[in-house]
Amino acid sequence: MLGVLLAAVLAVLGNLTIQTYLAVFPRESAAVNAATLGAGRAFAAASAAFAVAMAGLAACWWLRPVPPAAVVPALLLWSAAAWAVPPPVQTRVLALAGPDDGPQVMALTSSAVYVGASLGGAAGGRLLASGGPGTLPPAAGACALAALAAFAAFGHATPSARAGKSRADGFEHDDGRRVRRENLA
């Protein structure tokens, strides 16, 4: 059992070795970065790819039995799309919060990933128990589309939009965030 757990650790280690610093690789190898691609476009592409993968898995479910060659492409697309979401989210929250609050918003971003994982496990278990495996891809695809809508709706702020009420502690406040007044200029 420990050997299998070690294999899991090594697989995640390899995955996160590049994912954690994913912005550096495309920037240095292909001159692609948040400025050239844009966090919104990257998030939209990942969400759309995820939704397409879920539609493919749903089709496989309804057409079952299907050969593994019909399922594997959707699984590969799903895995690539799922791991492509954190970098644009990190880029966007850093842009929204500003450099002074970078460590705090990165911690919140990690927490959001774990909350999503926990809720996904609970929702998937409930769906599996109540409706069977065929309910999982449509529900996951709907979540991807909802995520895309939320990212588009809540992911934009300008310095003037972030400016809130001044407080004696030297911070501007809005949406529960603290932003140093001098960072808004």
3-state secondary structure (DSSP) of residue 166: strand
Lowest mean pLDDT among 12-21, 57-66, 69-78: 12-21
Name the band, by pLDDT with cuts 50, 70 and 90, for residue 40.
Answer: confident
Q: For 17-39, how does the pLDDT look when each residue is reduced to its tens digit (9 = 90+)?
A: 776 666 667 777 777 766 667 78
More confident residue, 68 or 22: 68
Q: What is the DSSP letter of 175?
A: T
Cα separation, 119 vs 92, in Å, equals: 23
pLDDT digits (tens, 9 = 90+) for 142-181: 999 999 999 888 866 544 344 443 344 444 444 445 555 4
Helix, strand or coil, per DSSP, at residue 130: helix
Note whether 72 and 80 are within 8 A (CB): no
pTM value surpassing 0.75: no
The per-residue pLDDT for 181 is: 45
Cβ–Cβ < 8 Å for 88, 49: no
Residue whose token pair is 């954190």: 86
- 27 close to 42: Cβ distance less than 8 angstroms: no
Q: Residue range 58-63: average pLDDT?
A: 96
What's the pLDDT score for residue 178?
52
pLDDT for position 157 = 56
pLDDT tens, 75-127?
999 888 887 888 888 888 888 888 788 888 888 888 888 899 889 999 999 99
d(CA 126, CA 112): 21
Tell me if 88 sits within 8 A of 26, measured CB to CB. no
